[in-house]
């Protein structure tokens, strides 16, 4: 089992980060090549490192083709596949890849399969399906780095920063996720585990931190170009500059003809788009307002979310409404119970009372990964119904948890297209909903379940109340 390291002192012995800012060169290459970057996002939190880009929630050919004509370097396609089972995920990615190829009509594009920074999600199913449909990929790159969330990779080992320690990801609660558990933090071993031994750990290449920091983009490019196809690479990164240097080298390798399929967290997404992590937005930039109450929907069950929920109780302007998960799962009485909660929620929001709608904190799991996903879907369906029942536009809407925020956006708010304004807190994106949605122009905060300290959720709400 991998050992915990002291943080940040464990990083002191490393070479200093690459000095040169490589983002201008990435942006130049994007313009020069005309290549669009499509980020297939398995929940909405992947937008947490970018700004001034669009998110689309369907993959019709017309929708995808429109993105090629926009001036932005790329876009996000929200799949919400982390809430789906394997069969549904495979079918979705098969359909999406086929339609994207049709929409491209020969125009170049790069694919990023964006997933969780703590290694949860349908890997390698999603990348395997994309490669099967689109063919011809030379390399698959696994890069789970996400700086704002304290997700670092060092010598192939993926860590989660917790206070003054770097904890191997496999020793955190995330690795015990009922649907996406794993036992290895060393990424080559993780790849072998997740592929059922089809790809051996010894065949996975590690782009080590020292090579990235001492060799820069040219050496990264050389490593990617010289590798025999197909090869899986993992990427070390301990700060944003590290992942930017990798992205610059990867862009060079793509320009030289390598076809690379990326499986990453949000850190690589921003770098591959040539963006630095945006500054934190202030309250006046969020366009929150109106006489109605604001709404916070908390579906995530992870311990970090529960701690943040407790901190909210220190602000007397917030009211709390619990959704009892056990009652939601009781087939005979669930409908009547949800009607009661729906009525109470509408009264509060219409009356200008800022309300936190949260699931009961005891996590209910099934006997298998599939049954746990089904329970999660029932709970998410209940939250969607409650938000859909709002007959009045809330002052703002915050959704806590990846699956929760996706379902609220697409099903309750009917968002088909949204603009990413930036981040309202490190690692927490805020969208402006499109004109087709139920509440056009609504500030919609997509708050990941596993991001921020105990007061992070409260700090976001305080900005929205400014």
Task: Give 339-395 pLDDT, tens digit per residue.
Answer: 999 999 999 999 999 999 999 977 777 778 888 878 888 888 999 999 999 989 999
Give the chain's domain count.
2
Q: At residue 151, does pLDDT exceed 80?
A: yes
252 and 391 co-located in one domain: no
65 and 129 co-located in one domain: yes
pLDDT band, very low/low/confident/very high, at 321 (cuts 50, 70, 90):
very high
pLDDT band, very low/low/confident/very high, at 231 (cuts 50, 70, 90):
very high
State the CB neighbour count (10 A cutoff) for residue 204: 22
Domain end residue (candidates: 232, 248, 272): 272
Angle at 434 between CA 431 and CA 436, to 5 degrees: 150
b or e along 327-347 (b: 16 or more beta carbons within 10 Å of the residue's beta carbon)? Answer: bbeeeeebeeebeebbeebee
Strand order in the sheet with 165-168: 5-6, 165-168, 157-162, 151-154
86 and 227 co-located in one domain: yes
CATH code at 344? 3.40.980.20
pLDDT at residue 272 in the model: 97
In a domain, 65, yes or no: yes
Q: At residue 320, does pLDDT exceed 90?
A: yes
In a domain, 441, yes or no: yes
Q: Could you read off the pLDDT of 11-35 as tens digits, one per residue?
A: 999 999 999 999 999 999 999 999 9
pLDDT at residue 1 in the model: 58
Q: Could you read off the pLDDT of 270-282 as tens digits, one per residue?
A: 999 999 988 898 8
pLDDT band, very low/low/confident/very high, at 300 (cuts 50, 70, 90):
confident
185 and 304 co-located in one domain: no
pLDDT band, very low/low/confident/very high, at 449 (cuts 50, 70, 90):
confident
In a domain, 278, yes or no: no
Q: Rounded to an integer, what distance in angstroms lies between the CA atom of residue 95 and that of residue 87?
A: 12
Domain end residue (candidates: 209, 238, 272): 272
180 and 238 co-located in one domain: yes
pLDDT band, very low/low/confident/very high, at 38 (cuts 50, 70, 90):
very high
329 and 425 co-located in one domain: yes
212 and 361 co-located in one domain: no
84 and 174 co-located in one domain: yes
263 and 290 co-located in one domain: no
Better pLDDT: 208 or 173: 208
Domain end residue (candidates: 239, 272, 305): 272
**Least confident stretch, 54-68, 103-117, 293-307:** 293-307
266 and 308 co-located in one domain: no
- Three-state secondary structure of the chain: CCCCEECCHHHCCCCCCCCCCCHHHHHHHHHHHCCEEEEEECCHHHHHHCCCEEEECCCCHHHHHHHHCCCCCEEEEECCHHHCCHHHHHHHHHHHHHHHHHHHCCCCEEEEEECCCCCCCCCCHHHHHHHHHHCCCCEEEEECCEHHHCEEEECCEEEEEECCEEEEHHHCHHHHCCCCCCCCCEHHHHHHHHCCCCCCHHHCEEECHHHHHHHHHHHHHHHHHHCCCCEEEEECECCHHHHHHHHHHHHHHHHCCCCEEEEECHHHHHHHCCCCCCCECCHHHCCCCCCCCCEEEECCCCHHHHHHHHHHCCCCCEEEEEECHHHHCCCCCHHHHHHHHHHHHHHHHHCCCEEEEEECCCCCCCCCHHHHHHHHHHHHHHHHHHHHCCCCCCCCEEEECHHHHHHHHHHHCCCCEEEEEEEEECCEEEEEECCCCCCCCCEEEEECCCCCCCCHHHHHHHHHCC
In a domain, 34, yes or no: yes
pLDDT at residue 240 in the model: 97
Q: Rounded to an integer, what distance in angstroms lies between the CA atom of residue 427 and that of residue 127?
A: 25
Average pLDDT, the chain: 93
75 and 192 co-located in one domain: yes
Question: Which structural domain, as residue segments, surrounds residue 72?
Answer: 5-272
In a domain, 397, yes or no: yes
pTM over 0.85: yes
CATH code at 190? 3.40.50.10840
* pLDDT average, residue stretch 283-303: 84
264 and 295 co-located in one domain: no
């Amino acid at each position: 089992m991998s050992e915990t390291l002291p943080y940040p002192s464990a990083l002191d012995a490393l070479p200093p980060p690459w000095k040169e800012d490589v983002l201008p060169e990435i942006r130049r290459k994007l313009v020069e090549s005309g290549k669009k970057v499509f980020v297939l996002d398995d929940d909405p939190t992947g937008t947490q490192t970018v700004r001034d880009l669009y998110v689309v929630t369907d993959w019709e050919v017309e929708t995808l083709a429109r993105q090629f004509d926009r001036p932005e370097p790329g876009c996000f396609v929200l799949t919400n596949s982390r809430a789906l089972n394997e069969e549904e995920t495979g079918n979705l990615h098969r359909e999406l890849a086929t339609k994207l190829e049709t929409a491209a009509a020969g125009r170049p594009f790069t694919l990023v399969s964006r997933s969780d920074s703590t290694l949860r999600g349908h890997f390698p199913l999603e990348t395997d399906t994309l490669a099967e449909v689109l063919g011809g990929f030379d390399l698959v790159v696994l890069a789970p780095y996400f700086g704002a969330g304290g997700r670092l990779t060092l010598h192939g080992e993926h860590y989660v920063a917790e206070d003054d320690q770097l904890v191997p990801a496999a020793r955190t609660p995330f690795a015990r996720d009922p649907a996406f558990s794993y036992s290895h933090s060393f990424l080559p071993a993780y790849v072998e585990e997740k592929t059922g031994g089809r790809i051996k750990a010894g065949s996975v290449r590690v782009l080590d931190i020292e090579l990235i920091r001492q060799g820069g983009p040219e050496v990264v490019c050389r490593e990617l170009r010289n590798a025999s196809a197909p090869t899986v690479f993992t990427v070390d990164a301990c700060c944003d500059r590290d992942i930017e240097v990798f992205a610059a080298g990867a862009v060079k390798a793509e320009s030289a003809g390598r076809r690379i399929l990326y499986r990453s967290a949000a850190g690589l997404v921003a770098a591959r788009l040539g963006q630095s992590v945006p500054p934190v937005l202030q309250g006046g930039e969020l366009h929150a307002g109106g006489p109605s109450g604001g709404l916070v929907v908390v579906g995530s069950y992870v311990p970090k979310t529960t701690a943040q929920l407790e901190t909210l109780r220190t602000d007397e302007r917030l009211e709390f409404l619990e959704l009892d998960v056990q009652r939601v799962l009781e087939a005979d009485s669930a409908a009547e119970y949800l009607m009661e909660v729906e009525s109470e929620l509408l009264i509060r929001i219409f009356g200008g009372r800022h309300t936190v709608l949260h699931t009961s904190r005891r996590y209910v799991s099934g006997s298998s990964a599939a049954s746990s996903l089904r329970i999660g879907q029932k709970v998410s369906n209940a939250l969607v119904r409650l938000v859909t029942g709002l007959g009045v536009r809330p002052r703002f809407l915050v959704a806590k948890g990846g699956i929760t925020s996706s379902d609220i956006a697409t099903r309750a708010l009917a968002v088909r297209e949204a603009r990413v304004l930036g981040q309202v807190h490190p690692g927490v994106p805020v969208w402006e909903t499109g004109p087709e949605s139920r509440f056009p122009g609504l500030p919609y905060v997509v708050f990941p379940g596993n991001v921020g300290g105990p007061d992070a959720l409260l700090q976001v709400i305080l900005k929205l109340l400014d």
